[in-house]
Chain A
Amino acid sequence: MAGRNRAGWVILGGGVAALAVLAYVNAGRPRGKRDSAPGHAARRWRWGGYAVEAYTVTIARPRSELYAFWRRFQNLPQVMENVDTITEEGDTTRWTIRAPMGQTVEVATRIVTDRPDEVIAWSAVEGSQIDTSGKVMFADAPGGRGTQVTAIIAWDPPFGRLGQLVAKASARAPAMQARHELKRLKMLMETGEIATSARRPAE
């Protein structure tokens, strides 16, 4: 009887000690200090009021070529299936984007950062249907593999989390769009065409 009691105390004591050790170890880590993973790989789904989606692809072409392709926005519908049209008026670019359930969304953006061969960043102007900003970055890939292209898109999903899930379910979510678009960009730049298993051209 006494033996069993002693064992109980030992286990309880051990547990308390373990908690103390955990607390000590955690205290050593300042709260909010991040690991080496990029912010967009974080488990949280919102940053402030925004959902953030991003994707990186390595393309076996020089930075300058990829920057030049992207900077000429009229090129982008070639790789962006969800973008119907792009028009430029002065420093404002107007995008017509296909959204879930047959809707289209008008977004007008203005370039906020433009460093040749490095980064292009844009932000929605007043009156856009979606509050969004994004940037595409170009960095030399290690080992002479070409360029790492990262696209980051922050957006305020209409109807919040629900809107984000609906967009995801209908393959209209920015994350999936960005992934598909960057892969199409890679195909076009590396092979001169975009792969399709269609047996005949679309009629």
Chain B
Amino acid sequence: MRALTWHGTKDVRVETVPDPKIVNPRDAIIEVTSTAICGSDLHLFDGVIPGMEQGDILGHEFMGRVVEVGSGSSLKKGQRVVVPFTISCGGCFFCTSGLYSACDNSNPVEKQDASEAAFGHAMSGIFGYSHLTGGYSGGQAEYVRVPFSDVGPIVVPDDLPDDQVLFLSDILPTGWMAAENAGIAPGDTVAVWGCGPVGLFAVQSALLMGAGQVIAIDHHPRRLELAESLGAKVINYRESHVAEALLEMTGGIGPDAVIDAVGMESHGLAPDRLLDRAKQAVGIGVDGIHALRSAIHACRKGGRVSVPGVYGGFADSFPTGAVMQKGLTLRTGQTHVQRYMPSLLHRIAEGEIDTTFLISHRLPLEEAVQGYQSFRDDQNSWTKVVLKTPASGWIG
């Protein structure tokens, strides 16, 4: 089969690799029709996530048809499914508590040692990501082996096209959980740092949850336009002072909840960001937390800080003082995708949520490398890239 493989920093290739097969009883093999490039794939592309190996197949946002099932799978051949990026067994304490991304049993035993050393505990397996999360082959390929296929994939009706449901795999539930973690009460002001896909879906979700106003912060005009079209107010940090604007737009109180939808490769104009970046450049595992610092600083007293942005290392100058003195609540985590898929699919089917506004480019899988490059270098107009395989029947 053809697949997008990782070979090093800024080196990904579309290659022919052996097809996957059923390994464990609960596996299924999915023939991929659509798969997206995620902002967190760019962290891999940029080489800032540890634990990658040459030849790893990337991609954790994908959907397709079931072509083969193991004896323990509940799926049937021919079913159309969206696959969550987190791999979860459904039976451990964490899965039964709804904390699917904390699954004890999906990250292979020998891969857990490094996470335990770095984080204290190992998290669930994730498709197409670091070997800290299992080193599972991902979905930017023609076929994928999907473990625990009786727990993860959700069957979608044939009348909903791929582009409407694909984002159930990651970014829509991630935006939704980010808003849920912000603990929004009716009338609240919610400020969202970053108008990438997760930030935009967090904007959409926060408004659905009853926020009085949502303020989105970015510097790409096209992305700010999208946020506005969803009903947000926007701040371009190249045009305005963010902290001052937020205070003025909230009557001097500050936002009730702040969402960092930026993560470890935070941009910005402040000196702290340059220091973080310099340390990243020499490879000492430092997370750039400029956006998070700025969000914590702006958040009102007793407010909530929600962090869907991806971090993987350590942070310098984390504002412990502001968190403690203002009594902030910090909530974060990899998304418990399985928890949100059914209700979000229902909202899509009912027409309450549309996700297709995000897609700026569709490319054949063969052109995935160009997709990575452009998504990274032209973030203003490349808001989301969906890759189509030959099996999708898509002809451009």
Contact = CB atoms under 8 A, between A and B. Distances in A.
Interface of A: 58, 60, 145-146, 176, 180, 183-184, 186-187, 190-201
A192 B20 contact: no
Q: Can you list the 10 inter-chain pairs with the closest CB atoms, starting with the nearest? A: A193-B24, A197-B136, A191-B89, A199-B20, A200-B21, A183-B109, A187-B105, A190-B91, A197-B135, A195-B108
A199 B105 contact: no
B226 to A, nearest CB: 36
Interface of A is mostly: loop
B91 A195 contact: no
A192 B25 CA distance: 8
B67 to A, nearest CB: 15
Contacts of A194: 24, 109
Interface of B is mostly: loop
A192 B72 CA distance: 9
Interface in B106-163: 106-113, 125, 134-137, 145, 147-148
Nearest to B107: A195
Interface string B59-102: 00000000000001000000000000000011111001000000
26 contacts: A58-B93, A60-B92, A180-B109, A183-B112, A184-B109, A186-B105, A187-B89, A190-B105, A193-B25, A194-B109, A195-B105, A195-B106, A195-B107, A195-B134, A195-B147, A196-B24, A196-B108, A197-B125, A197-B134, A197-B137, A199-B21, A199-B137, A200-B18, A200-B19, A201-B22, A201-B23
Contacts of A200: 18-21, 23
Contact of A196 (B23, B72, B92, B112): B23
A193 B26 contact: yes
Contacts of B136: 197
A60 B94 CA distance: 11
Contacts, number: 75
Given A193-B25, A193-B26, A200-B23, 14 more contacts: A60-B93, A176-B113, A186-B92, A187-B109, A191-B92, A193-B24, A195-B109, A195-B125, A197-B111, A197-B134, A197-B136, A198-B23, A199-B23, A200-B18
Nearest to B27: A193
B18 A145 contact: no
A190 B125 CA distance: 16
A196 B148 CA distance: 11
Contacts of B72: 192-193
A176 B110 CA distance: 10
Contacts of A186: 92, 104-105
B109 A191 contact: no
Contacts of B91: 60, 190-191
Contacts of B20: 199-200
A190 B109 contact: no
A189 to B, nearest CB: 9
Contacts of B90: 191
A145 B96 CA distance: 10
B106 A145 contact: no
A166 B109 CA distance: 21
A184 B187 CA distance: 49
Contacts of A58: 93
B139 to A, nearest CB: 13
Given A193-B25, A193-B26, A199-B18, A145 B112 contact: no
Contacts of A60: 91-93, 96
Interface string B184-206: 00000000000000000000000
Contacts of A192: 25-26, 72
A203 to B, nearest CB: 10
Interface centre among A190, A194, A197 (most CB of B within 10 A): A197
Interface centre among B19, B96, B106, B108 (most CB of A within 10 A): B108
Contacts of A201: 21-23
